[in-house]
Amino acid sequence: MVTWPAGYGRRVLQQVDSTMAEAARIAPELTGPEWILALQQTAARGRRGRAWHMPAGNFSATLVLRPEDPPDVMALRSFVAALALFDAFEAAAGTAQGLALKWPNDVLLNGGKAAGILLENLGGPGGHLAIGVGVNLIAAPDADAVEPGAVPPVSLLEESGMRVSPEQFLTLLADAYAQWETRFVTYGFEPVRRAWLDRAARLGEVITARTTRDEVTGTFESVDERGNLVLKTSSTRAAIAAADVFF
């Protein structure tokens, strides 16, 4: 039976503007890692300030940590969180069939986006790290709510028939995250990187990475030791630190 991990706090809020905003408010008072779950959000947001649509019954939570790592190492926890999400989905559905991880921070179910991750540094160097997680448990946003060409959203209920409450999913996710965090802190990024690649969507296939400045299309070769997406094009091998990926 999955139980709540020792050393991690837990807050469940009926309503809040966003769990990321709440994380920033409470971070100074925390003495250890803390999960914040909101059953309703009024001003949720995703990567690059995009609105995050949250139908009732879906999952939105933020983990607040204070790692003693430089910013580039702290950022690798997006892969830790992705692996934890994969395990939580597998535990909820009873199978890993149809699950895959999309660089940099999405979980796919039967080819559609079922979850996303957002990392924010709170308070600058030496401050807290907020890991925001949004999961379509019950319903997916309308297709017109996502960027044209992006992976269409799906939900766990629609794709698997499994109905899981946000509170139940939080326990699965918190337990899985604690285990992956321990591995990351103990052994470094390499085992996390290998595990992530084992679950990666479209590895070895041609994909497109779109940054704020340009677009690169090439074969998805790997993720390097810094978490960069490695694409092999006709003329070079590109290591991309931040981008939106299109299939």
In the numeric block, the tokens 């080819």 are attached to: 111
pTM more than 0.85: yes
**Residue 114: predicted pLDDT:** 97
CB 219 within 8 A of CB 209: no
| 230, amino acid identity | V
In the numeric block, the tokens 């990392």 are attached to: 119
What DSSP string describes 37-93?
Answer: EES-BSS-B-GGG-B----TT-EEEEEEE--SS-HHHHTTHHHHHHHHHHHHHHHHH
Which residues, 6+ apart, have CB-to-CB distance to 131 below 8 Å?
A: 62, 63, 65, 77, 78, 81, 117, 118, 119
Domains plus CATH for the chain? 9-198 (3.30.930.10), 206-246 (2.30.30)
Q: Report the distance separating Cα 192 and Cα 198, nearest Å.
A: 10
**Residue 54: predicted pLDDT:** 72
When computed from its CA atoms, the radius of gyration of the chain, rounded to whole angstroms, is 17
Residue whose C-alpha is closest to residue 95's, from 103, 107, 86: 86
Q: Report the distance separating Cα 197 and Cα 55, nearest Å.
A: 31
**Residue 149: predicted pLDDT:** 72
Residue 115 has pLDDT above 90, yes or no: yes
> What percent of the chain is modeled with pLDDT above 90?
85
Residue whose C-alpha is closest to residue 115's, from 88, 93, 95, 94: 88
Residue 148 has pLDDT above 90, yes or no: no
Question: Beta-strand (E) ranges in the chain?
Answer: 9-13, 34-38, 59-65, 99-102, 106-109, 112-122, 128-135, 206-210, 215-223, 229-232, 237-240, 244-246
Between 72 and 125, where is the model more confident? 72
